[in-house]
Copies of this chain bind each other. A is one copy, B any other.
Amino acid sequence: MAATRLQRDLKKKRPFESAAQEAALNLLRTSDRLQHRFVRLFRQHGVTPAQYNILRILRGEGQPLPILEIASRTVTVVPGITGLVDRLQQAGLVERIRCEQDRRVIYVAVTPKGMDILAALDRPVVELHEKLLGHLGQKDLKELNRLLAKARAPWPDE
Seen from chain A, the residues whose Cβ lies within 8 Å of a Cβ on chain B are 4-6, 10-14, 17-24, 26-37, 60-61, 72-73, 75, 126, 129-130, 132-136, 138, 140-145, 147-155, 158
Contacts and interface: CB of A to CB of B under 8 A. Distances in A.
A140 B145 CA distance: 12
Contacts of A22: 141, 145
Contacts of A144: 23, 26-27, 144, 147-148, 151
Given A13-B60, A31-B31, A136-B147, 13 more contacts: A6-B149, A11-B72, A19-B138, A19-B142, A20-B134, A24-B34, A28-B35, A33-B152, A34-B151, A135-B150, A135-B154, A144-B147, A144-B148
Contact of A26 (B6, B126, B145, B155): B145
A145 B19 contact: yes
A36 B158 CA distance: 10
Contacts of A152: 29-30, 33
Contacts of A5: 149
Contacts of A149: 4-6, 26
18 contacts: A13-B60, A18-B126, A21-B129, A22-B145, A23-B148, A24-B34, A24-B129, A24-B133, A26-B145, A28-B34, A31-B31, A33-B155, A133-B151, A135-B153, A135-B154, A136-B150, A136-B151, A144-B151
